[in-house]
């Protein structure tokens, strides 16, 4: 009832229709008097759904860069060979240790507290991230209210709370999402400085928050830089100095300090990261300059996405302190060849805030929309129907289920030294060993071993123990692969089949680049004779 009423309010649905729907008077009154509380309840509700049900991971980086690395460190292993002393490490790789390091500390504490199950640990990780994301909703509302009043704040806050991808993305371990609360806090203390602080120290505090965001995602540098440029236009020299000192202090202490502790010199990883970005800028997904405009237009659901983009541009002068940093961030990523959808996530809350302000201002003065209120109602109704379907679907989505459950299944077998992964299309899938609770060697297709034959030859010739299990990831008939594998390892027996989740099927149908395979597990009885039930 709360959700149904709130999404109808202030979106072109007439009061008469609200009354004819017999909306609960108590809910209506509470929404009118306490909109922020209603928004926070909705934000909390859907994020809790994601905490409980949105297991797995979304993209490679939010698991294998963060969770696999930190989880392995906790167990005395180095999954990504990032640390000095690891066999394959040749120096800094360009990955900040700050965000994975926080997970390392968390996992170490959880082990000490007796919470050792990977799924239990990830539940706590999702809960922490969901809690942090509430900062974005709360202060996003307050920033909008400060800039343009309660009416715009109600819409912006609601969108931040229940935009279809927000709860699901909020519990992912993406640096782009994890940096957002600190950016929002940085802006909040510039708009509404604490009464106990002088302006200089308020902007210094903002710099501290911006510095934390930078330590998580370096590209967020454009937000304090853009803010400082606006302050420069306004000749607010003290505030520029304050933001700069605050940001640099946090970056020097955290980024510089961690690298000095690990490598013996400050900013070693940052220098390596810049070099990687320059030398490998064309090695990943290179897309045209207008790609992110299309991404935002689709992600935010048209036509409302176009309304927000129009509003963002229209009110640029009034919200310049937010507009310029977002514009710089957008231009950089549009120019840079490597384009992935997640890169653009940090600007979305600010686009929603400024876009809402600009669009409402335009509608209030527009003769066209004044004469076509029914069209506005249709646009918002379409948006909320699509958004609500996607919101529930994704908030309950267990992503990459087959791979997670395959490793969870094998975790009951102790002392696995090696296993192999063979794919029917010679397109290997990374297996999340974190859920296995062990860190055995995995034989799978790589650039050096690009096919099933080469993987099997490598596994057979290896001086290590033969693979205890072979995982066949497939959407085809696997009998030819099994027969071939048995020529190398004749004692293979069928163990079990792990199916993908329904949403994995749907996402693969939308875009086949998202691999979605059943995983059929065979056990090598020469290594593990008995099945463990």
What is the 3-class SS of 464-498, one letter each residue? CCCCCEEEEEECCCCHHHHHHHHHHCCCEEEEEEE
Question: Comparing C-alpha atoms, which of 336, 359, 343, 357 is closest to residue 296?
Answer: 343
- Tell me the per-residue pLDDT of 180-198, one tens digit each, with 9 for 90 and over: 999 999 999 998 877 777 8
pLDDT at 417: 94
Q: Is a pLDDT exceeding 60 seen at residue 21?
A: no
Domain range annotation of the chain: 1-178+366-399, 401-524
Q: Is a pLDDT exceeding 90 seen at residue 517?
A: no
Average pLDDT over residues 269-273: 92
pTM score, whole prediction: 0.93
Q: Is a pLDDT exceeding 60 seen at residue 18?
A: no
- How far is the C-alpha of 59 from the C-alpha of 430, rounded, in Å? 11
- Tell me the per-residue pLDDT of 402-444, one tens digit each, with 9 for 90 and over: 999 999 999 999 999 999 999 877 776 789 999 999 999 999 8
Q: Indicate the Cα dihedral angle 65, 67, 69, 71, nearest 10°.
A: 180
Among 27-36, 233-242, 401-410, whose mean pLDDT is lowest?
A: 27-36
- How far is the C-alpha of 159 from the C-alpha of 215, rounded, in Å? 27
Question: Comparing C-alpha atoms, which of 42, 81, 134, 96 is closest to residue 388?
Answer: 42
Contact 345, 176 (CB under 8 A): yes
Average pLDDT over residues 99-128: 97
Helix, strand, or coil (residue 85)? coil
19: left (phi over 0), alpha (psi -120 to 50) or beta: alpha
pLDDT at 206: 96
Beta strand extents in 60-155 (DSSP E only): none
pLDDT at 16: 43
Among 233-237, 256-260, 262-266, 449-453, whose mean pLDDT is lowest?
A: 449-453
- Tell me the per-residue pLDDT of 373-397, one tens digit each, with 9 for 90 and over: 899 999 999 999 999 999 999 999 9
- How far is the C-alpha of 432 from the C-alpha of 393, rounded, in Å? 24
Q: Please give the angle made by the CA atoms of 526, 531 and 532, to the nearest 5 degrees.
A: 135
DSSP string, 303-358: THHHHHHHHHHHTTTTTHHHHHHHHHHHHHHHHSSB--GGGGGGGHHHHHHHHHHH
Question: Comparing C-alpha atoms, which of 212, 141, 127 is closest to residue 170?
Answer: 127
Average pLDDT over residues 27-47: 90
């Amino acid at each position: 009832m709360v959700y149904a009423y709130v999404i109808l309010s202030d979106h072109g649905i007439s009061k008469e229709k609200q009354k004819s729907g017999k909306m609960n008077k108590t809910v209506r009154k509470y929404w009118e008097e306490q909109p922020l509380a209603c928004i926070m309840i909705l934000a909390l509700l859907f994020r809790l759904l994601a905490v409980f049900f949105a297991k797995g991971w979304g993209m490679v980086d939010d698991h294998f860069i963060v969770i696999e690395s930190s989880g392995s460190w906790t167990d005395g292993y180095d999954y990504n060979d990032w640390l000095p002393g690891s066999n394959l490490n040749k120096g800094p790789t360009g990955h900040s240790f700050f965000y994975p390091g926080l997970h390392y500390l968390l996992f170490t504490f959880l082990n000490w507290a007796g919470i050792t199950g990977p799924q239990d640990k990830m539940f706590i990780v999702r809960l922490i991230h969901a809690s942090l994301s509430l900062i974005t909703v709360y202060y996003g509302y307050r920033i909008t209210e400060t800039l343009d009043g309660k009416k715009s704040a109600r819409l912006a806050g609601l969108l931040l709370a229940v935009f279809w991808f927000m709860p699901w993305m909020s519990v992912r371990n993406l640096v782009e999402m994890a940096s957002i609360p600190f950016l929002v806090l940085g802006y909040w203390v510039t708009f509404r400085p604490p009464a106990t602080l002088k302006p200089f120290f308020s902007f210094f505090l903002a710099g501290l928050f911006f510095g934390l965001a930078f330590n998580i995602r370096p590209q967020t540098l454009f937000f304090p830089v853009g803010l400082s440029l606006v302050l420069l236009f306004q000749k607010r020299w003290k505030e520029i100095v304050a933001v700069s000192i605050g940001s640099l202090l946090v970056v020097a202490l955290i980024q510089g300090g961690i690298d000095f502790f690990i490598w013996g010199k400050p900013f070693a990883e940052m220098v390596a990261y810049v070099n990687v970005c320059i030398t490998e800028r064309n090695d990943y997904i290179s897309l045209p300059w207008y790609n992110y405009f299309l991404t935002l237009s689709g992600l935010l659901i048209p036509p409302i996405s176009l309304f927000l983009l129009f509003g963002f541009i229209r009110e640029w002068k009034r919200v310049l302190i937010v507009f310029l940093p977002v514009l710089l961030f957008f231009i950089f990523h549009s120019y840079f060849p490597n384009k992935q959808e997640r890169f653009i996530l940090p600007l979305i809350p600010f686009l929603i805030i400024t876009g809402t302000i600009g669009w409402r201002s335009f509608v209030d003065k527009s003769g066209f929309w004044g004469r076509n209120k029914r069209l506005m109602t249709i646009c918002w109704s379409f948006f909320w129907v699509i958004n609500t379907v996607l919101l529930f679907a994704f908030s309950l989505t267990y992503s990459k289920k087959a791979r997670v459950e395959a490793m969870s299944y094998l975790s009951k077998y102790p002392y696995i030294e090696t296993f192999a992964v063979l794919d029917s299309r010679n397109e290997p899938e990374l297996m999340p060993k974190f859920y296995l609770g062990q860190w055995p060697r995995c034989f799978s297709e790589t650039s050096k071993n690009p096919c099933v034959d080469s993987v099997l030859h490598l596994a057979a010739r290896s001086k290590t123990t033969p693979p205890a299990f072979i995982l066949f990831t497939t959407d085809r008939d696997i009998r030819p692969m099994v027969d071939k594998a048995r020529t190398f390892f004749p004692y293979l027996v069928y163990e079990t089949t792990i199916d993908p989740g329904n949403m994995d099927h749907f996402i693969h149908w939308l875009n086949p680049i998202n691999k979605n395979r059943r995983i059929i597990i065979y056990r090598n009885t020469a290594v593990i004779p008995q099945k463990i039930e």
